[in-house]
Structure 1
């Protein structure tokens, strides 16, 4: 299978415009012959950089933080969002699969969702189980109902997002489902994130597409202007350095942890042909879900039920 990672700058906040950019970039990736194409964490809406880069973002009742949250709530995708129809049509026409991150709204909460679009099938969501550190100011936690993989003729394919790769039991649950190709979505694939991605490949005996993005402070300011020029949001974002703040670093990794393709810190598409026979060869020495699992000593239970918090009865 030929795979690709599209490492590019999202359109921050403005998800409607972001979907238009996504379609253009996706067509370029399809033209490479790739069958599975990955984009980085929250490519639709952009990573909320102000949480890390603006010193006042975590202050109680900060008007800029509230303004940016309101914009994302308004823009966020929803389940069965009609704005996905052109994307699904392109996926169906090309016969490809596409993993892309998005801010998703469910009721009145935001979630970090890495969605796998599949030809002829409904999208497969994965909502991040634990938002990392400051991300808890913006995203709710996912539940076990989206801890799933695609199982089709192309193989078994799954997603995890960012620091989920340091959740040992989440990794074990994904390995148990027999992933062959895994999308590891990151904002930037810095050194420690590369280590986590390569470890996942070796531990799970699967290929890993570690997908990062590129983003600058001024990208956020341009979107704020386009979406109504909210003064409070602009003031908060202007606290951030006027510089590039996400640096790509995407990688395609083999089951033996070898890096097959490596991106720089700018916009580019990287590709790699995957030799699927490497998976079976690697399992001869290490199967963390089988002969290396000691099921007589350890047991993992996974609750796949949706946790909506409210049960209505007649």
Structure 2
């Protein structure tokens, strides 16, 4: 629903199909439809929903050991399954976006050349997805993902909403990344998390208040059994499958990600909050509230001191190699 200055937003809190990105993409329309039926104009999924969060890095003893066969096997699977720029597997979802004139933000493992990146894709009508790659993988995540650059620190200007952007997980504790996003005047911000635990909820609400924008704090749910079921749908050699299964089975049994998604108003009020199970969270965003809040706080304007502080953002892609026929 987009009615005047009121827009309906949704967060789909669900279990991914871990590792098996192709199967996860195929499941998306069934997860999106309930939000569409409720009139949502923008729909958000959590961090690396396509492929699932790599829980073995935190939960499986020995996963960080050099040349661990299970870690190597799972990394190889994600390289095979990860999304790429122009990925044809996303075409049915893009057609749904084009037909419904909506926005869908979804986390994914992305492959660029031979490396993996943690990215958030914003699918938008009639245009290629806007990609944001996580600037700094957090702690153990550096074993699997590369570092993004300033070329993907962008927003999409939607006709009904205005500027829409995203940051991933602990990027919300990078003050200069927040300042760069606030400078682009976000109306709606997607804060992608694995689980929206207490401190993550604090960061999301702080972002809403500081940036005077609505925040869709999107989490996921995931269990060890989900990972084993996803592994079953991946093409692997028997020896690699055995190593990967062994690493996953070394993780604690039961649920390991617990949702907690929120939709947050620009004054940090919680408009809707999910529990720890599958849920489609919906709320109406009164966009007029933003200008009212700017009366007292505009961190990129009248509450800023550009004469004291200056931020420069390098938006050039950092490819590392420049060929002679490139400008």
Return the alpha-carbon distance in structure 1 between the equivalents of residues 112 and 29 of structure 2. Answer: 24
TM-score under structure 1 length normalisation:
0.99
Q: Offset at 1:313?
A: 1.1
Matched, 1:134 2:140: yes
Return the alpha-carbon distance in structure 2 between the equivalents of residues 185 and 296 of structure 1. Answer: 33
Q: For this pair of structures, how many residues does the alignment match?
A: 314
* CA distances 1:73-112 after superposition (whole Å, capped 9, x unpaired): 0000100000011010000111100000000000000001
Q: Offset at 1:209?
A: 0.2
* CA distances 1:94-142 after superposition (whole Å, capped 9, x unpaired): 1100000000000000001100000112110000000000000000000
Return the alpha-carbon distance in structure 2 between the equivalents of residues 160 and 182 of structure 1. Answer: 8
The counterpart of 1:298, out of the listed 288, 294, 309, is 309
Matched with 1:65 is: 71
Q: Offset at 1:226?
A: 2.6
SS of structure 2 residue aligned to 1:187: coil
Q: Offset at 1:264?
A: 0.4
Structure 2: runs of 5 or more not aligned: 1-6
SS of structure 1 residue aligned to 2:133: coil
The residue correspondences of 1:1-314 to structure 2 (distance < 5 A) are 1-154=7-160, 155-227=162-234, 228=236, 230-313=241-324
Q: Offset at 1:195?
A: 0.1
TM-score under structure 2 length normalisation:
0.95
SS of structure 2 residue aligned to 1:126: strand
Return the alpha-carbon distance in structure 2 between the equivalents of residues 282 and 271 of structure 1. Answer: 22
Matched with 2:4 is: none
Return the alpha-carbon distance in structure 1 between the equivalents of residues 28 and 224 of structure 2. Answer: 20
Return the alpha-carbon distance in structure 1 between the equivalents of residues 99 and 233 of structure 2. Answer: 32
Structure 1: runs of 5 or more not aligned: none
Q: Offset at 1:152?
A: 2.5
Q: Offset at 1:156?
A: 0.8
Q: CA RMSD in A?
A: 0.8
Q: Offset at 1:2?
A: 0.2
Return the alpha-carbon distance in structure 1 between the equivalents of residues 287 and 76 of structure 2. Answer: 45
SS of structure 2 residue aligned to 1:274: strand
Q: Offset at 1:225?
A: 2.3
Q: Offset at 1:222?
A: 1.4
